[in-house]
Structure 1
């Protein structure tokens, strides 16, 4: 595999106003859910490594929904990154940052959005060449006010706030010059997936397009 990523982290962030944070418990839901999101204009899909089925779900989406770009969330180790790449992931999102995870993603050709919650973590990620970062958990770690404070010392960093972000508070984040997109789970509600309400997920994805700056 070439270690040049198919998409840069900035391209992943710029594709739509929201990157869906997806928790899948049933492989049968993966493909219809991905198709529903793509139909609503959302194609960068962060499937979190929080369930035993996550990797199989990534494989199914990568195989059967070529218009979607599968990403792996909750990447915490080199082994996670390798498993995600093997399953067809083309970008990775981590809840925190370590140099080992950063190097593993580079070696595998996975664009990485490293998670940060403090100035020191931003500096560690920057030292390793990462300037597009996930601010997590966004609301618990200071929300829009923290991002405004960071815009001075970290003027060259762009963020994707994730954690506690909703359709209601997303506009406040997206209005900030250092925010490119947000991450949110509200586009893929567990009850809608359980009931197979794919049209609802498409509509939720379409609703996010109005958030575009």
Structure 2
């Protein structure tokens, strides 16, 4: 299967789905647990029929869906087709779906000594390192952790969060952050990422698929 770019995914995905970091995602707003369970069962049956399986997170009033082709490590046409099927199943169940508020958290360690720290964090977190040196929990419960070489001048921030959001969420979040006393440190990486800081200078990046391969 052919890996799709962020632009191809966004142009072809059903309404209410968003490409965040490595997968196509949506949130099914079921309203109650029984409706969510029934919809998960329907999605499971449809997935079995095409032998392509999503990651589903069933909660009391919603179900989060993540689609990616695990054999190629990216979103493909199979994911778009299954997204369309899930959208139809949701409509039949009277369930709305949308990407508003969906956020994926990563943590980055800024260190002048990387990669010497990698082994320690791999051991203490119990997460294996991949070919890029990132630590990824195979069960998806611990945020992905990656490492970035940085200078050693003080003051500096050791850890910083990366938040992956839909492109439409960037503007409102930056506006709200500035209103709350934060600053926009840099938009040089936009539209891939924006660097913001809280009133004490702690930094965070807002990231999107845009401007990436």
Q: Normalising to structure 2: TM-score of the pair?
A: 0.26
The structure with the greater share of residues assigned to strand is 2
The structure with the greater share of residues assigned to helix is 1
Higher RCO (Cα < 8 Å, 6 or more apart): 1
Q: Normalising to structure 1: TM-score of the pair?
A: 0.26
Q: Who wins on radius of gyration, i.e. which is larger?
A: 2
